[in-house]
Amino acid sequence: MREVEAPLSDEEPVVRLFKALAHPMRASIIHRLTTSAADVTELTELLGASQPLVSHHLRILRDAHLVQVERSGRRSNYSLIDDHVASIFLDALNHMREHDHDCHH
């Protein structure tokens, strides 16, 4: 018997967003971009990873509508798509820091 796929729920886009963030390298990219835009070279140096690997993770973040790219000559500058992305990430980070702080007392 074939399983029937359930219709997409309202929460599905949120699930996709968190799946995109659920990788250490992508989380680091988002964290870095909460301060300002960065190009691939800067992100590669920051992460200590190869340019193709960083570009792969940037593509996933673009597909999830978390980052946008602006090309300037040969450079590609990446930035967060809007302030909501920074808020979601920084709120989660602060929440976990508070939780870690509470657990150590």
Give pLDDT tens digits for 72-97: 898 899 999 999 999 999 999 999 99
pLDDT in tens, 5-54: 666 788 998 899 999 999 999 999 999 999 999 999 999 999 999 999 99
Look-up: residue for tokens 């946008």? 68
Q: What ranges in 1-105 are assigned the alpha helix state H?
A: 12-21, 24-33, 40-47, 51-63, 83-103
Task: Provide the pLDDT for residue 100.
Answer: 77
CA distances from 86 to 36, 50, 78, 101 (A): 11, 25, 14, 22
**3-state SS class at 37:** coil
What pLDDT is attached to residue 2?
55
Query: For 3, which DSSP code?
Result: P
Measured between alpha carbons, how far is 18 from 13 in angstroms, rounded to an integer?
9
* Of 69, 78, 60, residue with least CA distance to 22: 60
